[in-house]
Amino acid sequence: MENERIFLSTPTMHGEEKEFIKEAFDTNWIAPLGKNVDEFEKELASYVGVSNAAALASGTSALHLAAILSDIKQDDIVFCSDLTFSATVNPVSYEKGRQVFIDSERETWNMDPKALEKAFEKYPNPKAVIIVNLYGVPAKLDEIRDICKKHNTILIEDAAESLGAKYKGKQTGTFGEFGVFSFNGNKIITTSGGGMLVSEDEKMIKKARFLATQAREPFPYYQHEEIGYNYRMSNVVAGIGRGQLIHLDEHKAKKEEIYNIYKEGLSNLPLTMNPYPECSEPNFWLSCILIDKDCKVKPLDIIQKLGEHNIEARHIWKPMHMQPVFDGYDYIISEKDSVSEDIFERGLCLPSDIKMTLEQQNRVIEIIKECFYV
């Protein structure tokens, strides 16, 4: 229908989710732990190719536990991707660390290895590096990993947006000491809310599970020797995740199809699609465009025009160094000007919902064209 809302990205449910949830109800495993949690951890770990996983309440809680397990403490320096959602960097503040934001590079829109090297020159002993794979496009993960190894620094990979994406044949979320995934409602698969922390370090994942269950010691009564958190995923939610994971590759294929239709349909306009290197296989979570410099059309023009037709589009993430809450925090660039700011000022995210029909997507394309032809 002409006025039917076209969303940016919403959950796409199938049928298997209900079966796993029904099993939880039938066995009365409604409490935080149970078979679905155990199996979802195993199945996700197997899919991405890691040995250990902890199912948690959110991607943010997974990042927080990664920060704790990395021993981030008050005044510790942590290098963070600048162009990202605030959830990536907030856990550093939870532990009273200090973020130093690293600019993006243009080939992936992710952390610039050259800027990261400059950051190490200025701050030789950071506690960790937190990198993001923006909109499902892998960063230059081998370069970043090698820099971290050279400086003996922990790498935390925020793969919240990139589940299923690969870099040089290797799944994202597996390049650092810790990897983090999100199953928020708008992600490529969802559990309504939830996250996963993965690592090859079995000891660390066991510690994460311990901290996530209020750090309760193995006594016949409640004993706590350190601060814990209520961060475990529920057995019901995990059932949704198990059903969704079955369809992850199917979702990826549809997201890629959406990206390619936009690329073809918008090819004659003064803009480009969000880039990715040939050695990577994005999951194409969100299709984005970058309007050419000096073009009179601005992202807000397109967002408002689409909004008039009940179509959702959004600005690119506002860089962290531009956020009022991080005013005065250091920001490292390698180019003359900020790449992150430029992408924010010229970019926007297009509707990428896998339930969007071809007719609806073509309507989005035609409305965008109108913005340039007026």
CB proximity list for 112: less than 8 A, separation 6 or greater: 102, 103, 104, 105, 333, 334, 335, 339
CATH classification at residue 195:
3.40.640.10
* Count of CB atoms situated within 10 Å of the CB of 235: 26
Give the structural domain span for 20: 16-245
- What is the tens place of the pLDDT at every residue in 227-240? 999 999 999 999 99
Same-domain pairing of 254 and 200:
no
- Collect all residues with Cβ–Cβ distance below 8 Å to 264 and sequence separation of at least 6: none
In total, how many domains does the chain have? 2
Is residue 273 in some structural domain?
yes
Residue 259 · residue 287 · CB < 8 Å:
yes
Query: Domain check: are 186 and 166 in the same one?
Result: yes
284 lies in the same domain as 316: yes
On whether residue 330 sits in a domain, the answer given is yes
Is residue 5 a part of any domain in this protein?
no
CA dihedral (185, 187, 188, 191) positive or negative: negative
Query: What pLDDT shows up at residue 355?
Result: 97
- Contacts of residue 108, defined as CB under 8 A and 6 or more positions apart, other chains included, come to 134, 137, 138, 139, 140, 275, 276, 277, 280
Residues of the chain with pLDDT under 70: 1-2, 374
| 9 belongs to a structural domain | no
If asked whether residues 221 and 310 sit together in one domain, one would say no
In a domain, 296, yes or no: yes
Structure confidence at residue 33 (pLDDT): 83
pLDDT of residue 3: 77
The residues facing 239 across adjacent strands are none
- Taking phi over 0 as left and psi of -120 to 50 as alpha, with beta for the rest, 26 belongs to alpha
Does this model's pTM top 0.75? My answer is yes
Contact 244, 17 (CB under 8 A): yes
Task: Among 229, 245, 261, identify where a domain stops.
Answer: 245
Same-domain pairing of 255 and 311: yes
Give the pLDDT score at 374: 63
Same domain, 301 and 227: no
> pLDDT digits over 321-356, tens only?
999 999 999 999 998 999 999 999 999 999 999 999
Is the same domain home to 224 and 134? yes
Give the CATH number of the domain where residue 315 resides: 3.90.1150.10
